[in-house]
Amino acid sequence: MNRDVSHSMPLSRSDLKRYQATGVLFPIAVLCLEEQRRFRSAIDEFVALSDASAKPANVGQCHLNFKFAFDLSTHEQILDTVEQVIGPNILVHSSTIFSKRPGRSFVSWHQDSLYWHLSAPRLVSAWIALSDSTVENGCMRVQPGSHLRQREHTEIHHEDNMLVTGTTIMDGPDEASTVNVVLRAGEMSLHHANLLHGSDPNRSNHNRIGFAVRYLAPDVQQGREHHEVILARGHDRYQHFQQLKDPPVYSVRDGMPLHVAFSAWLNKRDLDRGGPRVTSNEIPLYTERT
């Protein structure tokens, strides 16, 4: 695939066939050098401020509270690519910052769809690399074709697992068929909601930085309650989710108190385990967004 962002094209028919068959597609060039620097700088600042606080802010749902994360989640070239996979109507369902430090941290093998109980697996995750993502620094690993069936999971809690829930498939991946999703900074991968994936520890001397965004077709219903979503493109005539009314305007530093309060509230409500619906007017500080 062409790595020159300025000349990148929408996914080809063969790309789409490959995605349908394997559940994963990469590398896809999306960010120019200036954009890479902007978004990487913002994430580095976010990580530094989180590390400095007594109670680190949650790495999830930054697109609801920070301008940089909103802008990255609604990036036109990313949306152009996602549209070819799930259609012209696109919701930003959720997001996560991944800053994997050198050490023992890993992500257990799992399928994302387990969390949300979707009525149809029309959710695609874009994993956007803000640093090179390599085998040495613990890039995502996938098992192509595993999206064709759901697997049994259990919860195995481990202090080094970056998945707080400890969600882990019961029978393990087929190691012989796993693929390393190696990306350069500015590239992204797409993977299906049911794709089996995980990652190994970072054995390099530098952080591996990425931003994952999940995109959902509006007609899909969800069995578990959810925070607000963003209508990134098209229309939503189904209204299964509450939508964010106004884009966030905060810088990382200015938005951090808001995000810490928001994250604490979400964690308290424990949405992944079926807690009641959260709306913005219920969350301390959240209604102060301008």
Q: Which domains does the chain have, with CATH numbers?
A: 30-288 (2.60.120.620)
Q: Give Cβ neighbours of residue 93 (< 8 Å, ≥ 6 apart).
A: 123, 214, 215, 216, 226, 229
Cα separation of 131 and 134, whole Å? 9
Cis peptide, bond prior to residue 10, ω within 30 of zero = no
Q: What pLDDT tens digit does each residue of the chain (290 aa) get?
A: 334 444 445 899 999 999 999 999 999 999 999 999 999 999 999 999 987 654 455 799 999 999 999 999 999 999 999 999 999 999 999 999 999 999 998 888 888 888 888 999 999 999 999 999 999 999 999 999 999 988 877 777 888 777 777 777 788 788 889 999 999 999 999 999 999 999 999 999 999 999 999 999 999 999 988 999 999 999 999 999 999 999 999 999 999 999 999 998 888 775 544 444 444 444 444 434 43
Q: Give Cβ neighbours of residue 222 (< 8 Å, ≥ 6 apart).
A: 116, 117, 118, 119, 240, 241
| pTM score, whole prediction | 0.88
Amino acid identity of 195? L
